[in-house]
A and B are shown apart, each in its own frame.
Chain A
């Protein structure tokens, strides 16, 4: 059972490997680092294999038939008035419908299984994080730890993370390709995203929805720490950062990207709510 997906994975990767620069793909879902992204990739491979079977005949038949029936080849039959066959009609309508029905079942299952709102089954309670898309940075609030960061999402490896997202400005979209798919962050609304890292590491996160001239800079690192190191990091954050104050609140809405990630040793309890309210105030 385990061998098949691995083999398929290898097969799917081969043509890309052959092309050379596979280093790029290490940043994407192929090099998944968590259970959600792993399921995404698994689905990719299944659908990809089915589609090779679907596209293959067209890719073969088109050049073969065009070439065989070329004008200069006098050795083939020519039946200019032949334009219909029930057998062929059956072949071009029914199998594709069958394949789409089959894929639909798969699609229905996986869409529900990988619903970004669906909690990840785990023995541990998820880490709650509130993410706010701003121009051109991300604010992460840890409501249970009472700390916050800008442009750095630190999580414990192995434990599910439950993100609640909103935007303090225009619409944005949060994507961490090696951990999970993206979801929009919209002003006045809260969307959710569940993800987890299965091992420690540093993964790129980004906003993928264009939001102005600092858009390309709106990237951050997700740092997945070994489970035991996470409480240490929280302790450090509380000890070393400075508390989030009114100036920091105003600073969130300045259009800029900080050159370094920022850590706040404490965050007001209703910061997330406050941002949602402020973003809908008149003139914003």
Chain B
């Protein structure tokens, strides 16, 4: 009887699924590293829970954050998630570099199977659970403020997207504690990921994590696009939108059209694995080439989903810190739109080596090079924005400059790879690994960090510490060059990617340099955390409550920092591309409105966290073949959605009096603040009020 009940309850679980048991049975370095990582997750979770309990903050977190549908809070939670996942994936990157540096004609300290999990989780996390949450969080926070709106179009859906993403990330974290993760890389190519070759739970963790994440992102894309189309304030014509909003719009369109192929690809793979279908198997007519096409039909637009918002950040940052209007606004909008369209026409360049005809490869190679044109235009637009300006080397500006110079090198090698014959040599080697890190570290991470430093004062009301920001910046840049330039050399020498051991002694010096670079990158992340700590500690000295620490140009700077829940006491009306910049020069932007009115906002909802928790449970059940859990989870999600549709009391009102009190407190502070010239913006003299000149 117990024979039947235990498997029915626990599915595929057995004691060896726990890394601690594996490390006990086979105490080698690789298993101990795995058990250590699992322990970090468990101890970390316990410590966080204990801390929250001790501070008595559970209720606060639940009612003020987890159930919040405020786009600002959701944005911040996305970015917190991104930093947590960045920490894990970066450590994995360092471990891989250490392994390769120590594995020249020696086994190193990480076993091949464990190494394969490292590169699979590293890639999956960095793309789906670091980059995507980071940019989604940034857009969530900033875009509604920039278009003069009080929230996104579908606030509860926004919360559902967040919690689906968090559920997916939690699934990846769970794989550290229970079972193993996929060894099939972030792209999960079958037939390797089919049951015949990967029978364990790893691939299923990957499938459900990516599926939940992709559904969350599709919903986010729809939400953002509708928000931008329908919720701009009066006078905010399309061609008056800040560039960041344009890139957010293009990214949303890409999400809507590019995420579904991924969802389909992982769903078909799941059908193969769970229900004995044969879409991509070796036998019974399956064909993995269909998977490659579906995956990259998502995968290439995805690259631009990641990079476009960063382009938007750089457009804002370069213009603000050059005290100048953006050069070539129309050009930048056209370039963004061209990139959006072209990004759907190049996916075959991810598998030039699949044996298709030269005509096809050449056509896709040319399309790939064509994307270089609008991208180059953008870089020059930023250069000409600095031209005849007054450039201040703040941390976001430093990231922008480092991006421009580094990204060009990545573009250089990108054009090399666009040549199919050169790709035949560089594909699947470290040259390719170096190339896409060369695009994504400056093109995504630097952009997100620039945005983080730029808008942090807006979100929290105090500036981030400059010194630690610069230390971190230095480590990110130097670390990048040391970690990835050697990989170009190794790739050009024929070293394959994803290799756990190396048999060529002449590769050793390059691997050492790359290892040092990886450690520097870890230092860069650590510096960011130190910066956050120092900034929170010194927050009183660096307050910018008046709301405009950088002499900003867009609507987001025209309100207090942090902004009130309702964003704008009176919805703004704009008549130029830089309404706040012009407003400061034409009349008093801090004059109280004629009258205040009641403001109605959506009420908190537990729909999002409930769906997230249930989705994680259902996915966990699917991974472990605990069918009861999967079924209960799926039914419960339907129940939550139905229950939500009966909810009537979904709005709350902030009275005009309260709005007036909040606004007056801010306006008094602004009136008492000393306006500062740009020379002092990095000092404590900066209270968020800009001295207006010219």
Chain A residues at the B interface, C-beta cutoff of 8 Å: 16, 19-21, 23-30, 37, 39-40, 43-44, 47-48, 51, 54-55, 58-59, 61-63, 65-67, 69-72, 76-85, 88-89, 91-93, 96-97, 100, 103-104, 106-108, 110-118, 169-171, 173, 175, 177-178, 180-184, 186-189, 191-192, 204, 206-217, 219, 279-284
B415: A residues at CB distance < 8 A: 47, 51, 54, 103
A40: B residues at CB distance < 8 A: 421-422, 424-425
- Total contacts A to B, CB within 8 angstroms? 302
A183: B residues at CB distance < 8 A: 353, 355, 424
A63: B residues at CB distance < 8 A: 401, 405
The residue in chain A whose Cβ has the minimal distance to the Cβ of B184 is A210
Closest CB in chain A relative to B369 CB, distance in Å:
5
With the chains together, A91 CA to B377 CA distance in Å?
Answer: 9
The residue in chain A whose Cβ has the minimal distance to the Cβ of B403 is A62
B268 is an interface residue with CB less than 8 A from chain A: no
B496: A residues at CB distance < 8 A: 175, 206-208
The residue in chain A whose Cβ has the minimal distance to the Cβ of B420 is A111
Asked whether, in the complex, the Cβ of A84 is within 8 Å of the Cβ of B328, the reply is yes
In order of increasing CB-CB distance, the 7 nearest A-B pairs are A181-B424, A177-B494, A208-B428, A23-B506, A213-B112, A191-B355, A114-B421
Binary flags per residue of B661-694, CB closer than 8 Å to A gives 1, else 0: 0000000000000000011000000000000001
Asked whether, in the complex, the Cβ of B192 is within 8 Å of the Cβ of A82, the reply is no
Given contacts A184-B354, A206-B496, contact A77 B506 (CB under 8 A): no
Identify A21's interface contact among B282, B372, B389, B506, CB under 8 A.
B506
Asked whether, in the complex, the Cβ of A20 is within 8 Å of the Cβ of B509, the reply is yes
Asked whether, in the complex, the Cβ of B419 is within 8 Å of the Cβ of A78, the reply is no
Asked whether, in the complex, the Cβ of A92 is within 8 Å of the Cβ of B380, the reply is yes
B12 is an interface residue with CB less than 8 A from chain A: no
With the chains together, A81 CA to B507 CA distance in Å?
Answer: 53
With the chains together, A186 CA to B490 CA distance in Å?
Answer: 26
B422: A residues at CB distance < 8 A: 40, 43-44, 47
Interface residues of B, count at CB 8 A: 101
Q: Which of B113, B197, B678 has the most CB of A within 10 A?
A: B197
With the chains together, A192 CA to B377 CA distance in Å?
Answer: 40
Asked whether, in the complex, the Cβ of B351 is within 8 Å of the Cβ of A208, the reply is no
B404: A residues at CB distance < 8 A: 58, 62
Asked whether, in the complex, the Cβ of B358 is within 8 Å of the Cβ of A111, the reply is yes
Identify B282's interface contact among A29, A107, A184, A284, CB under 8 A.
A284
Segment 380-425 of B: residues with Cβ below 8 Å from A: 380-381, 383-393, 401, 404-405, 408-409, 411-412, 415-416, 418-425
Q: Which of B60-68, B147-155, B319-327 lies on the face that meets chain A? A: B319-327
Given contacts A92-B381, A182-B428, contact A80 B325 (CB under 8 A): yes
The residue in chain A whose Cβ has the minimal distance to the Cβ of B505 is A23
Closest CB in chain A relative to B570 CB, distance in Å:
28
Asked whether, in the complex, the Cβ of A208 is within 8 Å of the Cβ of B421, the reply is no
Binary flags per residue of B214-251, CB closer than 8 Å to A gives 1, else 0: 00000000000000000000000000000000000000
A107: B residues at CB distance < 8 A: 362, 365-366, 369, 418-420
A214: B residues at CB distance < 8 A: 112
Asked whether, in the complex, the Cβ of A28 is within 8 Å of the Cβ of B421, the reply is no
Provide 29 A-B residue pairs closer than 8 Å at the C-beta atoms, listed in order of the A residue. A24-B490, A24-B509, A24-B510, A25-B492, A27-B494, A28-B425, A28-B493, A28-B494, A47-B415, A65-B383, A69-B387, A71-B679, A79-B324, A80-B324, A88-B328, A88-B380, A96-B376, A106-B419, A107-B418, A110-B419, A114-B420, A175-B496, A181-B421, A181-B424, A186-B355, A208-B428, A208-B497, A280-B282, A282-B283
Asked whether, in the complex, the Cβ of A26 is within 8 Å of the Cβ of B328, the reply is no
Identify B355's interface contact among A79, A82, A192, CB under 8 A.
A192
Chain B residues at the A interface, C-beta cutoff of 8 Å: 111-113, 116, 183-185, 189-192, 196-197, 282-284, 287-289, 322-331, 351, 353-355, 357-359, 361-362, 365-366, 369-370, 372-373, 376-377, 379-381, 383-393, 401, 404-405, 408-409, 411-412, 415-416, 418-425, 427-429, 489-490, 492-494, 496-504, 506-507, 509-510, 678-679, 694
Majority secondary structure of chain B interface residues (helix, strand, loop or mixed):
helix
Majority secondary structure of chain A interface residues (helix, strand, loop or mixed):
mixed
With the chains together, A43 CA to B426 CA distance in Å?
Answer: 13
A170: B residues at CB distance < 8 A: 189-192, 197
With the chains together, A209 CA to B422 CA distance in Å?
Answer: 17
Given contacts A44-B422, A83-B327, contact A186 B289 (CB under 8 A): yes
The residue in chain A whose Cβ has the minimal distance to the Cβ of B375 is A96
Given contacts A55-B412, A180-B424, contact A66 B494 (CB under 8 A): no
Asked whether, in the complex, the Cβ of B421 is within 8 Å of the Cβ of A92, the reply is no
Given contacts A111-B362, A280-B283, contact A43 B421 (CB under 8 A): yes
Asked whether, in the complex, the Cβ of A69 is within 8 Å of the Cβ of B282, the reply is no
The residue in chain B whose Cβ has the minimal distance to the Cβ of A50 is B415
A182: B residues at CB distance < 8 A: 353, 424-425, 427-428
The residue in chain A whose Cβ has the minimal distance to the Cβ of B325 is A83
With the chains together, A181 CA to B358 CA distance in Å?
Answer: 14
Given contacts A55-B411, A80-B325, A169-B197, contact A111 B391 (CB under 8 A): no
Closest CB in chain A relative to B55 CB, distance in Å:
43
With the chains together, A200 CA to B318 CA distance in Å?
Answer: 57
